[in-house]
A and B are shown apart, each in its own frame.
Chain A
Amino acid sequence: MHSHVGPEPIDVARITEMVMRAGNGGIATFIGTVRDFADGSAVVGMEYSAYLQMARKELAAIVAEAAAAAPETDIAAVHRIGELTVGDVSIAIAAGHAHRGPAFDACRYVIEEAKRRVPIWKREHYASGRSEWVVPPHAPTDAPAAAPPRGD
């Protein structure tokens, strides 16, 4: 298992190679990149900031959960932070398993949970010169009575 959050550019080939081994007949990958539009506005770049210590811990926990759900799955997940431009890779996830089903499932689990739980925030820079923190459409602004549910 491998996970990391940091400013280094993401080497997708390297992330994929981390989960390739003789027994893994299926490798699923998810690559997230900076898109050039949001809600009808032209986007020229994106700043990602993190509560780094917690983001690393939370991403590692998510990877461990995905691995526990499907034994014999290899997973690597990396999230980049800092100033990114359009087309830059912000997140890459690779999952390897003997068969494609568990590989796809693990990859999907990691991206969905990462978007829900890892304390990383992005600020879009628009062509107009404006910048705004992104508020995800379904994000709760208030905490539930208990801690946010863990993905289990």
Chain B
Amino acid sequence: MDTTVDITVRLFAAYADAVGASHTTVRVPEPATVGTLRTALASLSSRLPPRPIIAVNAEYAGDEQRITERDEVAVIPPVSGG
């Protein structure tokens, strides 16, 4: 049986402009990981890169990391502080 989970992601700066929102919900197949989220995000906007940088609970995260609907997930554009 295929199950999915709805992950709410935070968007910032150019990505928030690209999607037109600072939050959005993405449906991801279980078991949800950063890798499967990246695949699901590709359908959100053609202006997001194919493999955007992801943070989970305010830490940079790799493809294998599991995510649940309780995690704070963010899509991080190339940073330009300083």
Number of B interface residues at 8 Å Cβ cutoff, please give it. Answer: 27
Contact string against B for A residues 133-148, beta-carbon threshold 8 Å, 1 for contact and 0 otherwise: 1111001111101111
Counting chain A residues whose Cβ lies within 8 A of the other chain, the interface size class is: 35 or more
* Chain A residues in the interface with B (C-beta under 8 A): 32, 48-51, 53-55, 57, 79, 90-91, 111, 114-123, 133-136, 139-143, 145-148
A-B contact pairs, 28 of them (CB 8 A): A32-B82, A49-B13, A51-B12, A51-B58, A51-B74, A51-B76, A53-B58, A54-B55, A54-B74, A57-B59, A91-B81, A91-B82, A116-B79, A120-B80, A120-B81, A121-B13, A121-B79, A121-B80, A122-B80, A123-B13, A135-B78, A135-B80, A136-B78, A139-B78, A140-B78, A142-B50, A143-B54, A147-B59
B10 at the interface (CB under 8 A from A): yes
Beta-carbon nearest neighbor of B16 in chain A: A49
Known contacts A121-B81, A134-B80, A147-B59, then 9 further A-B pairs from the complex at CB < 8 Å, ordered by chain A residue: A51-B74, A53-B58, A54-B55, A90-B81, A119-B76, A133-B14, A133-B17, A133-B77, A142-B52
